[in-house]
Chains A and B, each alone.
Chain A
Amino acid sequence: MSVETSREIRKRGHLRLDATLAEAATVVGPFEAQGPLGHLFDRVVQDELCGEQSYERAERCLMRGAVDLVLDRTGVSASDVDILFGGDLLDQITTTNFAGRDLGVPLVGVYSACATTSEALLLAGLAVTSGAADTVLAATASHHLSAERQYRYPLELGVQRVPTAQWTATGGAAFLLNRAERGAARLVAATVGSVQDYGLKDPSNMGAAMAPAAADTILRHLRARGQTSRDYDLILTGDLARSGLPLLEELLAEEREHPDHRLQDAGILLYAKAQDVHAGGSGAVCSALVLASLVLPRLRSGAMRRVLLVATGSLHSPRSYQQGETIPAVAHAVEMEAIT
């Protein structure tokens, strides 16, 4: 593994987009509603099961809820949706595929762990930009308890978490993209992440494993666009949390990028410190919830002009970890600006 030189980094994976992010909708669990952004979410489900029999079914309920809500708000019917790009964290992305069964829209399932939000947005933006589709949805969901079941331990097992551990967010989020003149924001560019692996092995410190991927994507994006981090009101990483964000700052500083307060992490913003989520939030929906509830309203009002969403994903599986493999990570960037 060698560190790429600046010249090699340039332009690869860079996409020009021209699509309107018309509307977004969020559904969250009760614990997320207690966080600092609680009052900004569109719907709160009162119990972790969402009225279902299992947490896996509850996760589908969250995704369906968000999609229904965004369709409702925009007055678009499911039969008018050209494509839904959706993804989640569970094996075989069952949340998305099973929600698709109920939604009855043409579906493309995508996966890049917690970077799925920006991957889905990027693909949806690309579909609209190319002119191949008119109305496109991007959706993600994750559930704390279904993720615990898949990635970690049985729920009732007595386990002590380490300080670098993160808390998978419970919620669903959906975005509707089209060619309209008005909307929440315009997607103008994106950079597709390349998988980075700096040889870290600890799945309870995902922030550290993902920070190099975020740095690589941010630097490539800025260079391809001829920008610096100061051209942004906000660079929002997905879930680096308190363990990963300082590392990203160091990696960017090495390349003489000092975004300071402009660089924020959704995993840190989503929960209050008193909620005892250790390093911060994570999960496919983590960045989507913060984008939809906190960032898009500010872009819509013009309080923010330019935002870079950099959702980060840790691409290991419980099996790859047990077999002693290191943790590869990826980050996809989507640049959006206010519609004047």
Chain B
Amino acid sequence: MEPKEYRQRVKRLEKPRPIVRNAFWAFVVGGTICLIGQLVQSGLMAIGYNQETVKAPTSIIMVFLGAVGTAFGFYDRIAKLGGMGANLPITGFSNAVVAPAMEFKQEGPIMGTGARIFQVAGPVIAYGLLAAFAVGIVRYAIMGFKP
């Protein structure tokens, strides 16, 4: 069999990903995380935060919950079920930073945790900054410099 023909056969025989089941669980898991986020936000607003000031503490609390879930070893299980539903919310970002921080502890605080903590989240941060910079340039070009 020629390699090209073989590759086509591999593709044909490959067991497809269970997309419908994955999408369902992504919806349930992602939705539950967002519901928790909403409850946190509503709770904070009930004790005096307003629509503007509530954003930062809500994010901080969700990041904390994601970190706790990672530290106690159950966030990866939630993500195995929920996929993107668990990766996309800010708790997933927290997981992406805390997991390598824990992982590389054995290689020491400098070359391990310090150097590798952004191994997974690094691209998001790097290209997030780049995108923000590009958007800033466009805004400047259209609207001129206004603080």
In angstroms, Cα B78 to Cα A100, docked, is 40
The tally of residues in B whose CB lies under 8 Å from a CB in A reads 39
State the CA gap A155–B103 with chains docked (Å). 7
> Chain A residues near B75 (CB, 8 Å)?
156, 158
**Cα–Cα, bound, A1→B5 (Å):** 13
Chain B residues closer than 8 Å to A161, beta-carbon distance? 80
| Chain B residues, Cβ within 8 Å of A251 | 1, 6
**Smallest beta-carbon distance A6→chain B, Å:** 14
CB distance from A196 to the nearest CB of B (A): 9
Q: Which residues on B are within 8 Å of A, measured CB to CB?
A: 1-4, 6-7, 9-10, 13-18, 22, 70-71, 73, 75-76, 78-80, 82-83, 86-87, 92, 95-96, 98-100, 102-104, 106, 119-120
- B70 x A247 contact (CB < 8 A): no
Task: Let me know if A27 is at the binding interface, CB within 8 A.
Answer: no
Q: Does A157 contact B76, Cβ atoms closer than 8 Å? A: yes
Question: What's the interface size class on A, roughly?
Answer: 20 to 34
A160 at the interface (CB under 8 A from B): yes
For residue A132, CB closer than 8 A to chain B, the reply is: no
SS class, residues of chain B in contact with chain A:
helix
B47 CB to nearest chain A CB (Å) = 31
A247 touches B96 (CB 8 A): no
Query: Could you tell me if B120 and A153 are in contact, using CB atoms closer than 8 angstroms?
Result: yes
Residue of B nearest to A197 (CB): B3
6 contacts between A and B (CB under 8 A): A156-B71, A158-B95, A161-B80, A199-B7, A247-B6, A251-B6
The complex places the Cα of A28 from the Cα of B10 at a distance, in Å, of 32
A247 near B3 with CB under 8 A, answer no
Decide yes or no: A154 and B103 within 8 Å by CB, A159-B80, A243-B15, A246-B13 being known contacts. yes
User: Is A212 part of the binding interface, using a Cβ–Cβ cutoff of 8 Å?
Assistant: yes
Chain A residues near B70 (CB-CB < 8 A): 156
Contact B100 A199 (CB under 8 A): no
| B132, chain A: closest CB distance, angstroms | 25
Tell me whether A159 and B79 are in contact (CB under 8 A): yes
Contact yes or no, A160 B7, CB < 8 A = no
- Residues of B within 8 Å of A242, CB to CB, are 15
Cα distance, A298 to B55, chains bound together (Å): 67
List residues of A (52-81) whose CB comes within 8 Å of B's CBs.
53-54
If A158-B78, A159-B79 are given as contacts, then 11 extra A-B residue pairs at C-beta distance below 8 Å, sorted by A number, are A3-B1, A154-B120, A156-B98, A158-B75, A158-B82, A163-B16, A163-B17, A197-B3, A198-B7, A199-B7, A208-B13
Q: Say which residue of B2, B6, B78, B103 sits within 8 Å of A149 (CB atoms).
A: B103
Tell whether A164 is near chain B: CB-to-CB under 8 Å: yes
* Residue in chain A with minimal CB distance to B25: A160
Closest to A55 in B: B106
Q: Does A205 contact B (CB under 8 A)?
A: yes
Most-contacted residue by chain B among A3, A149, A157 (CB, 10 A): A157
* Docked-complex contact A212 and B6, CB < 8 angstroms: yes
Report which of A54, A198, A246 forms a contact with B6, defined as CB distance below 8 A.
A198
Is there a chain B Cβ closer than 8 Å to A162's Cβ? Answer: yes
User: A160 touching B99 by the CB < 8 A rule?
Assistant: no
Chain B neighbourhood of A156, CB < 8 A: 70-71, 73, 75-76, 95, 98-99, 102-103
> In whole angstroms, how far apart are the Cα atoms of A164 and B10 in the complex?
11
